[in-house]
Amino acid sequence: MGDRKDTPDAPQGVTRRGFIGTVGAGAVAAATIGSGSPTEAQERRSHEGGMTPVALTINGRVHRLLVEPRWTLLFVIRERLGLTGTKIGCERGECGSCTVLIDGRPRYACMTLAVEAEGVEITTLEGLMNGEELGPTQQAFLEEDAYQCGYCTPGQIVAAEGLLRANPAPDLHQIRVGMSGNLCRCAAYGHIFKAVDRAVELKKGGGK
């Protein structure tokens, strides 16, 4: 067999110079095709990365952020926005520790996806404050000592607020039913019911 003799017409493979030239041309083309406004580029990258832009109205303030479709409202409120008054409990809609108000009605934040919460008014425990002062429902829980360990208390307060917005003067039976979605492992229910009744009085006295 004779020695291989390369000729000008013989294939030479990919040279270093050719590879660099090809990559450079491809980069220019990609930059040209991908040109657009920063907003469009950001949205394209976010969707490609599995993130979705949302605007959540929480305590009267609009928060614009990127979320994964699987993230719960509870996760976003605590871990992305730092509103830690909303507590993590069972994370399956049983204990009520994560209760927030959605359009004034109590809802479990652990059972609500963040992407489902656009276009509604969300109120957390922090949103019940009167500036730097406790709101009437919060004050009522303090006065009636309606807690022991206190872990479930934020959810209890928000649930009570939702109950009183729907029914400003509930009787004891209505209070029991209205608060039945929130569990207290310390069994401070007697004080909790008294606190809700006390909140009725405080709200009549000028609280919101």
**101 burial type by CB count under 10 A (0-12 exposed, 13-18 middle, 19+ buried):** buried
Long-range CB pairs of 46-54, under 8 A, 24+ apart, other chains included: 52/115, 54/114, 54/115, 54/117, 54/118
DSSP 116-132: G-TTSEEE-GGGG-BTT
Specify the length of the chain in residues.
208
Kindly report the number of other CB atoms within 10 A of residue 89's CB atom: 21
Q: Which residue has the higher pLDDT, 23 or 179?
A: 179
Q: What is the pLDDT of residue 47?
A: 59
Query: Which bin fits 119, alpha (ψ -120 to 50), beta or left (φ > 0)?
Result: left
**pLDDT value of residue 118:** 97
Q: Is the dihedral of CA 194, 195, 198, 203 positive or negative?
A: negative
| pLDDT band with cut points at 50, 70 and 90 for residue 48 | low
Q: What is the pLDDT of residues 101-117, one digit of tens each?
A: 999 999 999 999 999 99
**Whole-number pLDDT of residue 136:** 98
More confident residue, 41 or 61: 61
Question: For the chain, what is the mean pLDDT?
Answer: 85
pLDDT score of 31 = 40
Q: How many angstroms from the chain centroid is the CA of residue 33? A: 36
Residue with tokens 């952020």: 65
The reported pLDDT for the residue numbered 205 is 83
Question: Domains along the chain?
Answer: 50-127 (3.10.20.30), 129-208 (1.10.150.120)
- Which of 117, 118, 127, 189 lies closest to 156, judged by CA? 189
Res. 58: pLDDT tops 70: yes
pLDDT exceeding 70 applies to what percent of the chain? Answer: 75
pLDDT digits (tens, 9 = 90+) for 9-47: 444 444 444 544 444 444 444 443 344 445 555 555 555
